[in-house]
Amino acid sequence: APDSVTATLRADQPGPQIHPDVFGQFAEHLGTGIYEGIWVGTKSKIPNDGGYRRDVLEALRAIKVPMVRWPGGCFADEYHWRDGIGPSKARPAKVNTNWGGVNDDNSFGTHEYMGLMDRLGARTYVSANVGSAPPAETAQWVEYMTAPKDSTMLAKERARNGHAEPWKVQYLGIGNELWGCGGNMRAEYAADLTNRYAQFAKSANGPMLKIASGPSDSDYAWTETLMRISGKHIDGLALHYYTRPRNKDWNDKGPALGFPEREWATTMAHTLEMEEFITKHSAIMDKYDPEKRVMLAVDEWGTWYDPAPGSNPGFLQQQNSLRDAIVAGLNLNIFAHHADRVRMAAIAQMVNVLQAMLLTDGPRMVKTPTYWVFDLYQPWQGATALPIEVKSPWYHKDEVAIPAVSASAVRDTAGQVHVALVNLDPNRTLPVTVSLAGVQAGAVTGRIVTGAAMDAHNSFEQPDTVRPQAFTGAQASGGTLTVTLPAKSVVVLDLR
Ligand code: AHR
């Protein structure tokens, strides 16, 4: 095997646009993902803007969060939207049966979600309750959100609750994981229900793309059935795939920190399976939808470890380290390679849950290594994908053998070309030579996310251990880019 990386960037063969919503986020009523993490209420001592944490808003705006999926997840198929409207004090408390058995006082409801989207300038993705509520409930929720000012009873009720103008619902989830927590359905039954709920949910305020509850991992039979029965009635099919380090055993996933190199290696190998899952689900979708009208929406992805020591296991709290940064870079590169079909995605989850952007503890907040990777990839939002073919040496550890380096490239909306390189080998710095076709580079600058240890992370005491640094290991001359790519790093280069 070669001990250097060679790549060819074809800027002369531009691909599809990378939809900004591929950089979307997921925020569920789960643990402190919303309550405490985003919403503290107006009476809180934590600085807030109308009840939303100011530190969190500012951090999320800085990475231009394009879209947020809410309210679940498993939570969505037990959620009744009427519990979350009207005067906050009059809203009923409910037990969150999926996540920790704690009370949810419903103080964060539709108006609060929409207020968050307004403050972030983000598109909306609302997941409807298909598992335990009738289709009329979904239809009425959509009417409540989108009916014109002063029109229907529900529009007037919305106005009485403080918002006369309609909102836009850009995406509507037709249930969540209907094969599991959404109702343990067979694919045929789920597809029939999908058609039924989709039929009666009508936005009165612009297009609303309907996303069916899709497969998990390699469940190709689910995709086949959903596309066959529902393909014409939906705009997207969701794919959920979580990276679990060990043998994909839900009860023994491994810790978020202090793991051996073997678990680093299996984490990377399992993450790379996303490529195969997307390719094979897309091939099935192509049979029913050769025009690629229906998107594959990877609306739950990321790492899932054993819960943080001492935390409520139902809260899915975990630290986030350099390993997560690499996982993020690998997945974002894979999505870029499939920009034609993957036009929306949501990492699980935005704040305090699973592979989070931000962690909070009372008034404190910390940006994770994953946050910084999303920061590096900002030029990818809305950019044109450029093909980049990579020949990489392999990384070997125990039973794992995988290519060490992954890449993606784009031409951004201002015309500038950017290249992302991810070196998942934790031990080896690799020389990279990229031949450039269709673009001249006189100079190159860049930023890197890396760290001394595989589990380098940011704590509340030391919040800046992992953060982007200026990268000086790349040179450009005419048609060639040469890079000295450090071990365990994500590098984004800007060609000039
Ligand atoms: O993200 C946590 C949970 O994982 C979601 O609620 C569910 O859809 C998935 O199983």
Is the CB of residue 73 below 6 angstroms from any atom belonging to ligand 1? yes
Q: Render pLDDT for 175-229 as a digit per residue (tens, 0 to 9).
A: 999 999 999 999 999 999 999 999 999 999 999 999 999 999 999 999 999 999 9
Residue 300 falls in the annotated catalytic set: yes
Domain 20-380 in the same topology as domain 5-10+386-495: no
Q: Render pLDDT for 464-474 as a digit per residue (tens, 0 to 9).
A: 999 999 999 99
Residue 76, judged by CB atoms within 10 A of its CB (0-12, 13-18, 19+), counts as buried
Active-site pick, 78, 112, 143, 300: 300
Residue 177 falls in the annotated catalytic set: yes
Task: Please say whether the beta carbons of 423 and 392 come within 8 A.
Answer: no
CATH architecture of 20-380: Alpha-Beta Barrel (3.20)
CATH class of 5-10+386-495: mainly beta
> Among residues 172, 178, 157, which one has the least CA distance to residue 203?
172
Average pLDDT over residues 93-119: 98
Residue 216 alpha carbon, nearest atom of ligand 1: 10
Q: Render pLDDT for 229-283 as a digit per residue (tens, 0 to 9).
A: 999 999 999 999 999 999 888 999 999 999 999 999 999 999 999 999 999 999 9
Is the CB of residue 65 below 6 angstroms from any atom belonging to ligand 1? no
The pLDDT of residue 2 is 65
Is the CB of residue 347 below 6 angstroms from any atom belonging to ligand 1? no
The pLDDT of residue 255 is 97
Distance CA 337, CA 231 (A): 23
Is the CB of residue 25 below 6 angstroms from any atom belonging to ligand 1? no
Whether the per-residue pLDDT at 1 is higher than 60: the answer is no
Is the CB of residue 300 below 6 angstroms from any atom belonging to ligand 1? yes
Domain boundaries, the chain: 5-10+386-495, 20-380
Average pLDDT over residues 5-27: 98
Active-site pick, 177, 188, 273, 389: 177
Question: Cβ neighbours of residue 85 under 8 Å, at least 6 residues apart?
Answer: 91, 109, 110, 111, 144, 157, 161
pTM over 0.90, yes/no: yes
Residue 242 alpha carbon, nearest atom of ligand 1: 4
Q: Render pLDDT for 429-463 as a digit per residue (tens, 0 to 9).
A: 999 999 999 998 999 999 999 999 999 999 999 99
Q: Render pLDDT for 73-97 as a digit per residue (tens, 0 to 9).
A: 999 999 999 999 999 999 999 999 9
**In Å, what is the CA distance from 235 to each residue of 197, 230, 292, 379?**
13, 10, 10, 26
Whether the per-residue pLDDT at 391 is higher than 70: the answer is yes
Measured CA angle at 333 (ends 327, 337), to 5 deg: 145
Average pLDDT over residues 27-35: 98
